[in-house]
Structure 1
Amino acid sequence: MTDSTPSYDGARVWFAAGTAHVRLAGEVPEGMLAGRLSVLSPGTERRQLAATVSGPARDAGYMSLGEGSEGWVLAPAPHGAAFAPSLTGGLAAPSGTSLPVAAVGRFQLMAALGLTHLPAATGVQDAVVVGSGPVALGCVLALRRHGAERTRVLTARQHAPIGRAPGVTCVSEVEPSSVTLVIDATGRPDKAAGLVAAGGALGILGTPDENSTLPALATHRGGWTIIGMHELGPAPDGAYQHTYTDAVSWLTEHLDPQLVASWCRRVPGHLAPRIFELLDQPGRPAEPVVLFEWAA
């Protein structure tokens, strides 16, 4: 692949004027993998969609899956796009990994890398995770692997599927200023900040809006530690793939395959515009992980 060769080709979904649209499939360029499925990232893609109301159109998505010679390959490519197997930021699932585990492990990777930035003395027991979507699911699973036996999930969604994760209790309220470790998975850390106890820590895992703010005076007086948990934060060479492999292996070894599969909804790609319409409505898919399937 030369410098002039694109790393992906043929995005199937694009956002324009606040609406999602689907393109027909094109030919898969030689040497690229077909994007067989793609994973919806609700928070990020909602913001991107909203930005096109008054801004330029754009291709949508950044988590595509193709089938390599040894199993699933995940790449930061738009929905349904073909991509180069060597695309920077790509991940290879261990041979034999099921599709649900490969997808859920992708979200667990985000939190697992973020947790490495916590101060060494930070306890994970009785942490509160704010949100119940795919980022929150990945977070509670990473906390479990990190040693947490109990995690509360703050969500307004009744019977949220995340509640089936081991050690998780879903709650609709948490006492203000009472939690040693709060992790926001919604992209609205200002709301999560009100839960942090004096001397506690606030982890920012969901990507916030560029205009988001945090209460500096409360942070100062409370002696809080605020941790940025972006998956592409500072990490040793090879940590990205290694952490993903570990996450997928742990899911395979410790969780019932039917449980992992119950967190995923597979949707034909041509229905993607309808799913985007439903993201802020009660009729949105209950499953935290939505996979668009792309036929040739």
Structure 2
Amino acid sequence: MPSDLTHLARCRYAGPRIRFAEGRAHLLPAVAVPDGMVASRFSVLSPGTERRHLRATYGPVGSRDAGYMTFSGDLMAGWKLAAVPHGAAFDACADNVLTVPPGTRLQAAALARFQQLAVLGLDRLPDRVSLDDVVLVGSGPVALGCALELYRRGAARVRVLTSRPDPPIGRVPGVECVASIVQGSAGVVVDAAGTPRHAAALLTKGGTLGLLGTPDPVSELAALDLHRSGWTIVGMHELLAGPACYQDAYTTAATWLTWHMNPHLIDGWCRIVLGEGAPALYAAFHGLGRPDEPVVIFSWE
């Protein structure tokens, strides 16, 4: 999954609207926007990371602000995107705040954040890797962003391993959704679901595993298996590249989505939900109420 909010100290924020406590999401009241900050208008859900944070509140963590990425601004003036909790006001002048290219629609701007991860992550794969051989594990927003980036880079075929019937990611050109892959048959696997052990089992000897989704802290890969199989394991965390590359990668993804992808297709991958409905949506993470769309955007207007 996308990165945890471990770098929030770089951007001041105030008035988060969702807090996790005792395994539940609680809606907090809106507060006045402090001087020097901008108001949140929308925020983006990161399902895997936030599920993990939600579970952790049953234990010693106790409670924590919830969220991944928050938007301020508008289509005409331009969006600002910050790694702060859902609905929080933030300092738009902070170094790690992303500037969205002018004219980018909200849905494209949100989807670009997930494609940005793959822009930076795929650059870390060895040059010998053929993008047409990639098996992508997962069908959530991180996987969707990766499938789009593989398509942008010219991949003619991407096999997506997912248990979901007819997932929306299947509408990315070149994607073939499959329910199973023969173990030990894939030369290149990108794990976008945070399940490295499951993904590694698909690799041939000498294969390459890219870790794009954030693994659970208790996830393990046996060193003996790595040694005997000759696997190359590549960490694909987006913050390794540095601030300049971080903005450039986002601009690349947002611009490409705007000019090369059908807006109706992008809209079909996104769902906008009123912020007041957030607690019910979190409660449905594992149930029938979970949105089919990979990208969920909370509206705080």
Query: Shared fold (TM-score greater than 0.5)?
Result: yes
- Secondary structure of 1:166's counterpart equals coil
Return 5+ residue gaps in structure 1 as ranges: none
Q: Which residue of 2 aligns with 1:14?
A: 19
C-alpha displacement at 1:120, in angstroms?
1.3
Q: Which residue of 2 aligns with 1:273?
A: 279
Any runs of at least 4 consecutive aligned residues in structure 1 with deviations exceeding 3 A, and if so which? Answer: none
- Comparing 201-210 with 211-220, which one deviates more in the overlay? 211-220
1:30 to 19, 28, 35: 35
C-alpha displacement at 1:282, in angstroms?
3.3
Q: Which residue of 2 aligns with 1:217?
A: 224
CA deviation map 1:32-81 (0-9, x unaligned): 11110100000000010111012221100120001067311110010000
Distance in structure 2 (CA, Å) of the matches to 1:131 and 1:114: 16
Q: Which residue of 2 aligns with 1:286?
A: 292
- Comparing 81-90 with 64-73, which one deviates more in the overlay? 64-73
Give 1:131's aligned amino acid. G
Q: In 2 relative to 1, CA 237–34 (structure 1 residues): closer, same or farther, beyond 3 Å? A: closer
Q: In 2 relative to 1, CA 85–237 (structure 1 residues): closer, same or farther, beyond 3 Å? A: closer
Is residue 48 of structure 1 aligned with residue 53 of structure 2? yes
Q: Which residue of 1 aligns with 2:250?
A: 244
Q: Which residue of 2 aligns with 1:167?
A: 174
- Comparing 29-38 with 132-141, which one deviates more in the overlay? 29-38
Q: Which residue of 1 aligns with 2:134?
A: 127
Q: Which residue of 2 aligns with 1:264?
A: 270
C-alpha displacement at 1:237, in angstroms?
4.9
CA contact (8 A) 2:210 2:236 kept: yes
| RMSD between aligned residues | 1.6
Q: In 2 relative to 1, CA 5–137 (structure 1 residues): closer, same or farther, beyond 3 Å? A: closer
Is residue 102 of structure 1 aligned with residue 147 of structure 2? no
Alignment length (residue pairs): 291
Distance in structure 2 (CA, Å) of the matches to 1:177 and 1:11: 45
Q: Which residue of 2 aligns with 1:185?
A: 192
Give 1:212's aligned amino acid. S
- Secondary structure of 1:238's counterpart equals helix
C-alpha displacement at 1:5, in angstroms?
11
- Secondary structure of 1:132's counterpart equals coil
The two structures have a TM-score, normalised by structure 2, of 0.93
Return 5+ residue gaps in structure 2 as ranges: 1-8
CA contact (8 A) 2:10 2:96 kept: no
C-alpha displacement at 1:179, in angstroms?
0.9
Distance in structure 1 (CA, Å) of the matches to 2:286 and 2:10: 38
- Secondary structure of 2:165's counterpart equals coil
CA contact (8 A) 2:139 2:162 kept: yes
Q: In 2 relative to 1, CA 120–126 (structure 1 residues): closer, same or farther, beyond 3 Å? A: closer
- Comparing 82-91 with 249-258, which one deviates more in the overlay? 82-91
Q: Which residue of 2 aligns with 1:61?
A: 67
- Secondary structure of 2:239's counterpart equals coil
Distance in structure 1 (CA, Å) of the matches to 2:194 and 2:106: 27
1:206 to 204, 213, 225: 213
Q: Which residue of 2 aligns with 1:155?
A: 162
Give 1:36's aligned amino acid. R
Distance in structure 2 (CA, Å) of the matches to 1:124 and 1:245: 22
Give 2:95's aligned amino acid. T
Distance in structure 2 (CA, Å) of the matches to 1:199 and 1:282: 40
- Comparing 62-71 with 78-87, which one deviates more in the overlay? 62-71
Residue identity (%): 53
- Comparing 215-224 with 26-35, which one deviates more in the overlay? 215-224
Give 2:23's aligned amino acid. G
Is residue 115 of structure 1 aligned with residue 122 of structure 2? yes
- Secondary structure of 1:176's counterpart equals coil
C-alpha displacement at 1:30, in angstroms?
2.1
